[in-house]
Amino acid sequence: MSKAKGKKPQRSGSNVFANFDQQQIQEFKEAFTIIDQDRDGFISEKDLKDMWASLGILQDDKFCADMCKVSPGQINFTAFLTFMGEKLQDTDPEDVLHNAFACFDVHNTGAINQKIFTNALTQLGDRFTKEEIAQMYDVAPMKGDNVDWKRFIKLIKYGGDFEEEA
């Protein structure tokens, strides 16, 4: 049986790298490198514990072991990228997020006043704590005192910051 020249064998399954653009892969690689404290190419319970400690947070062994249990085997970069892709896909569909944010943007400006947004997050649905709100504002794209909710949806869905659309 002869093989056609120039054809590469097809691999079954999906290529996790195809789900992200080059910038996203680089950002995930940087995050992986930060977590892989011993630089052995795998994330272990000890790496997680050391990473948390570098952030000033002491986690017990059980917490770190539970985090590692999300992977059926060792966590290398490909497994990490697969896990991150799955987490990003677990968010609500973009149109659902758009409709939710649009409810608070009555003038259709693409921005929600921080005070109104904070009030909604503390008074409606799954109520956020002050700490969770502070963490959210640390990453939320802002236009002055307003949350740029269209860019925020892209951050939630695709894991990167995006320039303002024209």
Q: Measuring CA to CA, which residue among 49, 47, 46 is closest to residue 57?
A: 49
* Domain covering 20-89 assigned CATH 1.10.238.10 in the classification: yes
- Contact yes or no for 136/129 (Cβ under 8 A): no
Domain spans, the chain: 20-89, 94-158
Could you read off the pLDDT of 38-89 as tens digits, one per residue?
999 999 999 999 988 888 888 889 988 888 887 878 899 988 888 777 766 6
Burial 30-39 (b: 16+ CB within 10 A, else e): eebeebbbee
* 10 pLDDT higher than 60: no
**Do 94-158 and 20-89 fall under one CATH topology?**
yes
Highest mean predicted confidence (pLDDT) among 12-16, 82-86, 137-141: 137-141
Q: Measuring CA to CA, which residue among 143, 60, 72 is closest to residue 109?
A: 143
* Domain covering 94-158 assigned CATH 1.10.238.10 in the classification: yes
Q: Give 32 or 22, the one with higher predicted confidence.
A: 32
